[in-house]
């Protein structure tokens, strides 16, 4: 927790922090976390925080260019690069959010290079669960570029261990949720109303959730599944749902963060079936809402979901195992209540601003004082 003294310090010069990352125009975990961190840092008296989107909206009539796929990428990237120097010039610490592969080169790397050129301190905040593959394929140039950062921060111990394998030191500061936006409800006897809330992209394997749901539906006639999210697999997944038979599946598209709480409140079980992952924000949100969680054991998920302790796990792409876990929650007395209570306690202990805010505050101050941690 951030102490009152640190939050109201008047003797220390306000530290100027520039967050560089995706805006909510790109709806995903990084954008949500960047927005939440921005809002919380604004409340600190000794920090002056600003935000630079890596996906800026083009001005006036140029905005029409952002409707064209490849033109959008070129135009947006140019606008972002042109804004970097003047914005970094006004900051003490550059906090750059990062995914992997080409996104790493296009978004955080320019910010780190400009920050270093200007003599600013640089924090690289790396999020993707595909880190091992990214560094295995492109480590010859990705690792040296990551060393531009004075500190490397990841949201999970899973990624700390991945980075260690490639000779990179990283520290973990967990993602956090806003409990005010997430209504908590106990579900001692969960109804068979399921939710998937992941982008509809291949690594998240929402198809496995659909196949698992078809197995559940065969045994529980009134079972329903809501699929939130959007992506390149949208049409294929809707076609799969039709092919699997008459299923009560609702595809509701992308849901803004401020409306997710209401959606969680309409269901009783959260299902997640990625093949590759790190620390899904949606799982923590489900925990916070009192939803029992069933997930595959991809990547960093076992670091936050402990099987039979605060959730249930199945192997990757194992729709039969996923369905069996869902049926356990519905039929086994007391199981859902026990798991959900443990999960909610984990949220309060690890995944709120009170739990992580002091770590960010300490990191910025340490880096600005020349104490490199990465």
Measured CA to CA, the distance from residue 276 to residue 299 in angstroms comes to: 6
Measured CA to CA, the distance from residue 150 to residue 121 in angstroms comes to: 6
DSSP 21: E
Q: Is-contact 129 205, C-beta < 8 A?
A: no
pLDDT score for 66: 57
Q: Is residue 82 over pLDDT 60?
A: yes
Question: Can you count the helices (H) and strands (E) in the chain?
Answer: 14, 12
- All structural domains of the chain with their residue ranges: 4-176+352-368, 179-350
pLDDT tens-digit map of 218-264: 999 999 999 999 999 999 999 999 999 889 999 999 999 999 999 99
Q: For residue 301, which of 292, 311, 289, 291 has the smallest C-alpha distance?
A: 311
pLDDT score for 10: 43
Q: Beta-carbon neighbour count of residue 66 at 10 Å?
A: 18
Q: Is residue 4 over pLDDT 50?
A: no
Which top CATH class is 179-350? alpha beta
pLDDT tens-digit map of 319-350: 999 999 999 999 999 999 999 999 999 999 99
Measured CA to CA, the distance from residue 285 to residue 33 in angstroms comes to: 12
CATH T-level topology, domain 4-176+352-368: Rossmann fold (3.40.50)
pLDDT score for 24: 87
- Domain 4-176+352-368 matches domain 179-350 at the CATH topology level: yes
| For the chain, percent of residues with pLDDT exceeding 90 | 84
Identify the residue whose tokens are 């909610």.
344
Q: Beta-carbon neighbour count of residue 32 at 10 Å?
A: 21
pLDDT score for 5: 44
DSSP 340: H
How high does pLDDT run on average in the chain?
92
pLDDT score for 111: 97
* pTM for the whole structure: 0.90
pLDDT score for 43: 93
DSSP 268-295: SEEEE--SS-S--HHHHHHHHHT--EEE
Pairing between strand 293-296 and 121-126? unpaired
DSSP 65: G
Q: For residue 352, which of 307, 304, 288, 306 has the smallest C-alpha distance?
A: 288
What is the average pLDDT across 164-189?
A: 96
| Burial (CB count within 10 angstroms: exposed 0-12, middle 13-18, buried 19+), residue 53 | buried
Torsion angle of the four alpha carbons 51, 168, 298, 316, in this order, in degrees rounded to the nearest 10: 130
Name 19's bridge partners. Answer: 51, 95
Torsion angle of the four alpha carbons 241, 308, 156, 26, in this order, in degrees rounded to the nearest 10: 20
Strand order in the sheet with 47-53: 47-53, 15-21, 93-98, 121-126, 151-154, 171-172
Q: Is-contact 54 19, C-beta < 8 A?
A: no
């Amino acid at each position: 927790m951030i102490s009152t003294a640190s939050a109201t310090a008047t003797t220390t010069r306000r530290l100027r922090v520039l967050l560089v990352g995706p805006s909510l125009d790109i709806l995903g975990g990084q954008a949500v976390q960047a927005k939440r961190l921005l809002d919380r840092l604004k409340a600190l008296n000794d920090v002056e925080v600003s935000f630079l989107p890596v996906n800026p909206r083009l001005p006036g009539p140029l905005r029409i260019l952002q409707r064209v796929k490849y033109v959008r990428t070129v135009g947006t990237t140019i606008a972002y690069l042109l804004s970097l120097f003047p914005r970094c010039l006004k900051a003490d610490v550059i906090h750059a959010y990062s995914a992997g592969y080409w996104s790493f080169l296009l978004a955080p790397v320019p910010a780190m290079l400009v920050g270093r050129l200007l003599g600013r301190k640089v924090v690289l905040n790396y999020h993707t669960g595909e880190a091992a593959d990214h560094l295995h394929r492109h480590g010859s140039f990705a690792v040296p570029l990551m060393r531009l950062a004075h500190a490397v921060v990841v949201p999970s111990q899973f990624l700390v261990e991945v980075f260690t394998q490639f000779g990179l030191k990283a520290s973990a500061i967990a993602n956090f949720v806003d409990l005010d936006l997430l209504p908590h409800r106990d579900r001692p006897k969960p109804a068979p109303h399921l939710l998937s809330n992941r982008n509809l992209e291949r690594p998240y394997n929402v198809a496995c959730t659909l196949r698992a749901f078809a197995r559940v539906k065969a045994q529980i006639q009134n079972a329903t599944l809501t699929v939130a999210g959007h992506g390149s697999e949208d049409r294929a997944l809707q076609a799969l749902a039709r092919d699997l038979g008459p299923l009560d599946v609702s595809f509701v598209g992308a849901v803004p963060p401020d409306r997710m709480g209401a959606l969680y409140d309409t269901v009783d079980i959260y299902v997640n079936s990625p093949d590759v992952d790190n620390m899904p924000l949606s799982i923590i949100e489900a925990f916070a809402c009192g939803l029992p969680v069933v997930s595959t054991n991809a990547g960093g998920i076992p670091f936050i979901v402990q099987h039979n302790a605060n959730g249930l796990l199945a192997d990757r792409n194992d729709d039969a195992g996923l369905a069996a876990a869902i049926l356990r929650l519905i039929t086994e007395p007391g199981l859902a209540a026990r798991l959900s209570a443990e999960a909610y306690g984990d949220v309060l202990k690890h995944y709120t601003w009170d739990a992580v805010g002091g770590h960010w505050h300490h990191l910025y101050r340490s880096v600005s004082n020349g104490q490199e941690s990465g």
